[in-house]
Amino acid sequence: MRDTGEYLFTSESVSEGHPDKVADRISDTVLDAFLAADPYSRVACETLVTTNRVVIAGEVRGPGSVTADYLKHLARLAIHDIGYEQEGFHWQNAHVECHLHAQSAHIAQGVDAAGNKDEGAGDQGIMFGYACTETPELMPAPLYYAHLILRRISELRRIGHPSVKGLLPDAKSQVTLRYVDGKPVGATSIVLSTQHEAHLEQSQIKAMVRPLIEEALPAGWMCPEAELYVNPTGTFVIGGPDGDCGLTGRKIIVDTYGGAAPHGGGAFSGKDPTKVDRSAAYAARYVAKNVVAAGLAEKCTIQVSYAIGVAKPLSVYFDLHGTGRDIDEVKLAKVVDGLVNLSPRGIREHLHLNRPIYVPTSSYGHFGRTPDAEKGTFTWEKTDLVDELKRAFGR
């Protein structure tokens, strides 16, 4: 996004009941099951969900105790937790298939450590990390507030709060903010589509969600009433996987920075941390967030690249978007190289990624979340490099 002039920027979010997010949740449930049984399991799991049907497929290497029947059971529990007990998609009645098979030996030989060879990247690719000062979480504001609106509605729905009675799991939000000289100053339009029970009128739904939307935004940021679009297509009773097929990995912009930063193209859910699509994207966010948290810049984008089977990243690139406070980006790259080992093994060990911590990432974004020391989740959101970065640049 530009740092001068006036412009509008939009990001969207989707709830945990969106079909693609149901698929992400099941894939990460499978991953966590394997990592709980063996922290060094290899998992590349994809899930398809449609009308009363779930298909789990992919490649794994892990203990035999994690059986297909057990994974089918966990998939049903995940669907139940999301809240699907509808005729067209029900946690008890859906037909669940599991077609996981052994990881390719040819992939394994490139990834596994052997002799003097360190563990290699699970695939080639480019990954990006980003942070900015638009929100306390150092995330782009349009995405942050799009997530926040849906999370608040979901929290109330899950506890059965009367203010959202009749709203169902599938929902989408979209927030457009006006920027002046690179700073967000308010919303110009907001879209919210939410699945609901048949008896609710659209006017009732708008009355339910309007105060929740306004509460999620900073004071004075609410869009004009004419630019608040709630269920703009009308009735939204048929939703979730019954209304639209869902697949793992189809919401990669929702998962990251809402379009405010580049994306390398790789999805996260269902992949163990040897897959740099996931782990290196986490590491890049970790570094970018610490750079901004240290006050070295107002914005930071990082790109890293890998070759399959090779441990060392092929490139590391920093862009401070002209906001670096007398920071040389070449020196910054050298300083970071001394603080964080960006090899697959180095990332896994530094961020403690070989644990069953991934289900919470499957909805409302992988970034901008609060680390939980007890559960070990979102370690890449820590700002424990700040002091060392400041020292390195005399701050």
Question: Known binder of ligand: residue 271?
Answer: yes
Helix locations, 252-365, DSSP H:
252-255, 276-293, 329-339, 344-351
Question: Known binder of ligand: residue 59?
Answer: yes
Bridge partners (DSSP) of residue 184 are: 179
Question: Known binder of ligand: residue 171?
Answer: yes
Report the DSSP pairing between strands 42-50 and 53-61: antiparallel
Closest by CA to 350, choosing from 283, 275, 289, 278, is 283
Question: Known binder of ligand: residue 263?
Answer: no
Q: What is the DSSP string of 75-120?
A: HHHHHHHHT-EETTEETTTSEEEEEEEEPPHHHHHHHS-BTTBPPP
Q: Decide if 194 contacts 209 (C-beta within 8 A).
A: yes
Dist CA 274 CA 159 (whole Å): 37
Closest by CA to 332, choosing from 375, 297, 362, 282, is 297
Q: Decide if 113 contacts 310 (C-beta within 8 A).
A: no
Question: Known binder of ligand: residue 334?
Answer: no
Q: Letter for the amino acid at 279?
A: S
Q: Is 220 exposed, middle or buried (0-12, 13-18, 19+ CB in 10 A)?
A: exposed
Q: What are φ and ψ of residue 272, in 5° steps?
A: -75, 165
149 CB contacts (<8 Å, ≥6 apart)?
13, 173, 175, 190, 192, 212, 213, 216
Question: Known binder of ligand: residue 172?
Answer: yes
C-alpha 226, offset from chain centre = 31
Any idea how long the chain is?
Answer: 395
Question: Known binder of ligand: residue 242?
Answer: no
Dist CA 375 CA 42 (whole Å): 21
Which residues are annotated binding-site positions? 18, 20, 46, 59, 103, 170-172, 244, 250-251, 267, 271, 275
- Binding residue numbers for ATP: 18, 170-172, 244, 250-251, 267, 271
Q: Which residues are annotated as a binding site for Mg(2+)?
A: 20
Binding site, annotated residues for K(+): 46
Binding residues for L-methionine, as ranges, are: 59, 103, 244, 275
